[in-house]
Amino acid sequence: MNEEKNVAKPAIRKLVPRRYNTSRPIEKRPLSINKNRERIRDDSSPVKIMALGGLGEFGRNMFVIEYKNECIIIDMGLRFPEENMPGVDFIIPSIEYFSLNKNLKILGIFISHAHYDHLGAIPYLISKLNYPPIYTTPLTKEIILKRQDEFNHMKKLDIRVVDSEKNNKIEFANFMISVFHVNHNVPDSVGFFIETKQGNIMYTGDYKIDFNPVFDRPADLTRIVKLASLGVDLLMIDSTGIEQEGHSMSEQEIFQNLEIIFMRSSGRIILATFASLIGRLQQAIVLAEKFNRKVVINGYSMKTNLAIAKKLGYVKSELKTVIDVKEMHHYKPEELLILTTGAQGEDNAGLMKIINKENKNIRIQPGDTMVFSSSIIPGNEMAVQCLKDSLTKQGANIYHYKMLDIHASGHAHKEDIKLMLNLIKPRQMMPVHGFYYMQKLFNDLAQDVLNLKKEECLLVSNGQVVELLHSKATITSKFIPANYVMVDGLGVGDVGEIVLRDRQALSKDGMFIINLIIDRKNKDIKVLEIISRGFIFMKDSNELIKDTKEKVTQIVHKNMQKASQENLNEAYIRNILRDEIGLFLFQKTERRPMIIPIVMEM
């Protein structure tokens, strides 16, 4: 078909005759493979659906759909560390399952949209998976390739573009994947309809329903209904917005409220948002042109994303709208708009560098209008509050989403979810992308809206195997590895529980180093030095240090008398000192620093 010409398809046999013959009504088309019950009845091999991340958490989205010795992967994202993970940059899924099943062939990786929680783990995992092809949309492809520039030691990625406007399908022997367009807060977002020998699976990706989006086309609900008419045996659907009542706010309303701020502001406008919110950045640029403002981009990731979006035509601006930061002094404050990263209070982001006066070209000025066009990610509340305080002290006027509707979630709210459920009418469902509590709320809603039974609404954990057999999905008692893999600098997976526990101890109570020499021949000991970092202030703790030295000497002498020469080795002494000095310091201070004895022998 003409609609498939631009998609690189594997050179393998087709699964069934083509079904999308537009000259015939839908009800007269040949049945899809999973509706042909006679054909699959004798096949006892189930399709397995497994989450390596993305359930009971935000981020780290990665799902495996497996049949016999072949599989496809949907999304490959990262998540940011929790507060009790000091030093960790981010967390990615474990791919131990593939190491344990070396004969399992990965047919392709399907990426739903250009957010790091859905694609950020690719550079760390793709080589270990032997570089399977990646299927995604044009904008997402460019974001992946730009990210890959930071890993120039790796092989070139095989990325195959799919086009949701042309109703692309990717066909394998045991899978057929159709693509459909959805709205999110980044363009080129899609979901996937997966036909298998045992049933149809629909994966929505992150989505919202916006009938009047700005600089995007509405979600292709007609195509979603058309695909759903083939029968959806298992719906994997975004549950993130389940707690929000009503409908998702349209980007058109956001645009109108931002325009009010532009009309009111007599000084510079500084707008902070996520670098990935391409649509929001386009709105700001359009308003800048309407109100005769020049635009300065602050933040590497924002500059990169805008350059990619402009190249692909997702962002348009007049030739001289965007200026270099060094040209700012040629313009009056009321003639400037600064777009910056750092709305979440990140230490190294653009806004924080401005506030801390680390940016030599931009300083906060009295009369600046500061716009936070993003919601606060849970856990960042205090960091964002500190931002607001600092900005206010430096004379800025602040607008944020609680004062005016200047940010819309990219996730469907409750009424939009109801609409999507009624459009798709799945036989069974499995909410994804959210905490366990959200998944449970979603299932409760689905049972009410679709009159589904409790057992038809699956509540699944990461690593748990779901089997789809003869169009019926069942949660099994089987689990595959789905543990955290932590990335710290160049290290991937070398920060385990022990290292993390040590870091937690250091961050909580610091460390206490004891440097001593043992003279075995004379049965003597000398404590050379005691060093404390993050535990006590040495100059104010002379008595504690003196008592600790005496305690160390007593412990070693006592054990030298009790133990034989063979048993009195350095490891034995270090362990004894860790335990007993740890207890001694806790009794003195009620704190537990990390004890590090350094033992040398004469």
* Tally of CB atoms within 10 A around 467: 18
pLDDT in tens, 436-493: 999 999 999 999 999 999 999 999 999 999 999 999 999 999 999 999 887 865 556 5
Same structural domain, 391 and 255 = yes
Identity of residue 257? N
d(CA 389, CA 333): 22
Q: Are 234 and 473 in contact (CB under 8 A)?
A: yes
Handedness of CA 363, 369, 370, 373 (dihedral sign): negative
d(CA 159, CA 137): 9
Same structural domain, 230 and 260 = no
Same structural domain, 584 and 462 = no
At 402 the pLDDT is 66
- Structural domain harbouring 596: 510-601
State the DSSP H helix or E strand holding residue 465, giving kind and residue range, or none if neither: strand 464-469
At 494 the pLDDT is 54
d(CA 435, CA 424): 23
pTM over 0.75: yes
Last residue of a domain, one of 399, 425, 440: 399
- Tokens for 342? 């750092």
Same structural domain, 85 and 224 = yes
At 500 the pLDDT is 57
* Tally of CB atoms within 10 A around 38: 6
Handedness of CA 300, 301, 304, 305 (dihedral sign): negative
Domain CATH for 357: 3.40.50.10710
* Tally of CB atoms within 10 A around 50: 22
Last residue of a domain, one of 488, 519, 535: 488
Is residue 568 included in any domain, yes or no? yes
Mean pLDDT by 10 residues, the chain (602 residues): 41 36 34 42 82 92 96 93 68 94 96 93 94 96 91 91 84 95 91 96 94 83 95 95 87 86 91 87 92 92 90 88 91 92 80 88 90 74 83 86 67 93 96 93 94 94 96 95 79 58 66 79 72 75 82 78 59 81 84 81 70
At 523 the pLDDT is 67
At 89 the pLDDT is 76
At 257 the pLDDT is 87
Percent of the chain whose pLDDT exceeds 70: 83
Same structural domain, 283 and 432 = no
Q: Which residue has the tokens 């990169």?
A: 304
Is residue 19 included in any domain, yes or no? no
Same structural domain, 282 and 209 = no
d(CA 589, CA 572): 26
At 15 the pLDDT is 38
Is residue 286 included in any domain, yes or no? yes
d(CA 363, CA 298): 12
b/e sequence 398-430, b meaning 16+ C-beta within 10 Å: bbbbeeeebbbbbbbbbebbbebbeebebbbbb
Is residue 33 included in any domain, yes or no? no
Strand partners, 466: 49, 475
The side-by-side arrangement of strands in the sheet containing 269-272 is 294-298, 336-340, 269-272, 369-372, 397-399
Q: Which residue has the tokens 């190249």?
A: 311
Q: Please count the structural domains in the chain.
A: 3
Same structural domain, 474 and 541 = no
Is residue 318 included in any domain, yes or no? yes
Domain CATH for 103: 3.60.15.10
CB-count burial class (<10 Å; 0-12, 13-18, 19+) for 511: middle
At 522 the pLDDT is 66
Render 108-119 in DSSP notation, one character per residue.
Answer: EEE--SS-HHHH
At 65 the pLDDT is 98
Same structural domain, 196 and 108 = yes
Same structural domain, 230 and 298 = no
d(CA 21, CA 19): 6
Same structural domain, 474 and 517 = no
Same structural domain, 67 and 172 = yes
Is residue 497 included in any domain, yes or no? no
Domain CATH for 540: 3.10.20.580
Q: Are 178 and 193 in contact (CB under 8 A)?
A: yes
Strand partners, 465: 50
Question: Measured in whole angstroms, how far is the alpha carbon of residue 574 from the centre of its chain?
Answer: 41
Same structural domain, 99 and 180 = yes
Render 206-265 in DSSP notation, one character per residue.
Answer: S-B--SS-SSSPPP-HHHHHHHHTT--SEEEEE-TTTTS-SPPPPHHHHHHHHHHHHHH-
Is residue 3 included in any domain, yes or no? no
State the DSSP H helix or E strand holding residue 545, giving kind and residue range, or none if neither: helix 542-562
- Tokens for 157? 């990625």
Is residue 499 included in any domain, yes or no? no
Of 105, 68, 108, 134, give the one whose Cα is nearest residue 194: 108
pLDDT in tens, 518-575: 776 666 777 777 888 777 776 778 888 888 888 888 887 777 766 555 555 677 778 8
